[in-house]
Amino acid sequence: MVFSSVSAEAQTKSKKSKKSKSSAPAEDNSAAPDKVLYDRSVVDIKKGRHEVGRLNLQTLINTYPDSEYLAKAKLLIADSYYKEGGSANLTQAVAGYKDFIVFFPFLPEAPYAQLQVAMTHYKQMDKPDRDRTEAKAAEEEFQTFLAKYPKDPLVGKAEQHLREVQEILAEGDFRIGYYYYVKGDKRASAGRLLAITKRYPLYSRSDEALWMLGDIFEKSEKKEIASIYYARIVREYPLSGRVGDAKGKLVAFGVPVPQADPKALAWMQAEAAAPRQKPGMLSKPKALITSGPDAEKRRSALNGTPQMEPETEGTTVADVLSGGGKAQIAAGGATGATGNTAVVEIATPGSGASGGSTVETGDTGGTAPAATSDANATAPATDNQPAAAASSDTSTGPAAGANQDGTAGNGATPDPNAKPANANASTTADPKAESTSKKKKGLRKIIPW
């Protein structure tokens, strides 16, 4: 009896399994073939068979170009590359997401594709002291998402990730600026710290950057500029530990101490009350092995609007330590370079400075006239005096003697090696005078006295 009951149960189970197997092909046959391919690909990708799933999706795209699952297939291929991971696969994922945005910009999945482009770069970010290429690309893509889809439900996630990315970028600049600050290179340090204070106000150590800038300008005897940065600490970071020291500096400078900004105070209070992930016991050993910026992500701001403007070269290092908006060290072509002597053209020995001169302090012209015996220099004075010009041609007057000795008529003493007068006056001088001067030179060679 027992054996008969067991066999009966086995027979019923086998019949049910046969019915289910026979009914499955009927369901597949009734479904559209493009849907069948898509469903199979979804199952394969969920189970980790990414290559098989992508092959089925590619077959769907090539075989059924007008299918309703075409857009979903393209997006699922990019998702497959993203989930599989790896540098090469993530590169393919970025290309797939961008193609989806180009071909289907008005679908509801377009914001998700743009966010995934940013997340692909976010996933590959290194520590602040390493390569910043992926961090900068992630910042740009997150800003693009927030600018194109400001009302999308994923905006909150994108803003938080953008704050984390900007924390990492600011930390990298801060470390470089701090290194130069300790080393004593004021200009290099200020060039990095200025970018932090202008571009990343949500950075967790912006108050330290402002304090270092104030100290740099104070030691450079620019107290009026240093007081600006000390005042910003009091006004924009009222809960910072540097507020007391900054107020003391302002009082010592005789500058009025500003009041704390209510919005800044509310922001810092919200940051202090926000729950944060605490580092575990193995966080420090893991930091030696992993390349990701975990500590900076935990320190990043949780409130506030991130920087939405693209990075520009607004401040050059040469203009950092110049107060009042005046460049003390100007580049080529700049005006107002006081206290320096600029050589317009350098004359080689044995030849004259043809058209070149040395511009001294206070000269505003492009080129100054050469202080040499140029016959054209006295032309305005001799245009109305033909008799004087005739006498100068005979080389008997004092003016002619001055020209032969290389002394200008206005009393200037030029370089004895420079001979621009003979070169410039060759078209107007008397040929007899030239021949007599050549004869004299030939006699001097033969008879030295």
Query: Is residue 165 a contact partner of residue 198, using CB atoms and an 8 Å limit?
Result: no
Is the predicted pLDDT of residue 69 greater than 70, yes or no? yes
pLDDT for 295: 83
Is the predicted pLDDT of residue 410 greater than 50, yes or no? no
Could you tell me the pLDDT band of residue 142, with boundaries at 50, 70 and 90?
very high
CA 180: distance to chain centroid? 19
Could you tell me the pLDDT band of residue 14, with boundaries at 50, 70 and 90?
low
pLDDT for 281: 74
**Residue bearing the bigger pLDDT, 283 or 396:** 283
37: exposed, middle or buried (Cβ count in 10 Å: 0-12, 13-18, 19+):
buried
- As a whole number, mean pLDDT of residues 341-367 equals 42
Is the predicted pLDDT of residue 243 greater than 60, yes or no? yes
- As a whole number, mean pLDDT of residues 115-123 equals 97
Task: Report d(CA 254, CA 231) in Å as an integer.
Answer: 12
pLDDT for 400: 38
pLDDT for 22: 42
Could you tell me the pLDDT band of residue 329, with boundaries at 50, 70 and 90?
very low
How big is the chain, counted in residues? Answer: 449
pLDDT for 441: 56
pLDDT for 439: 53
Q: H-helix or E-strand containing 359?
A: strand 358-359
pLDDT for 245: 95
Task: Report d(CA 172, CA 127) in Å as an integer.
Answer: 8
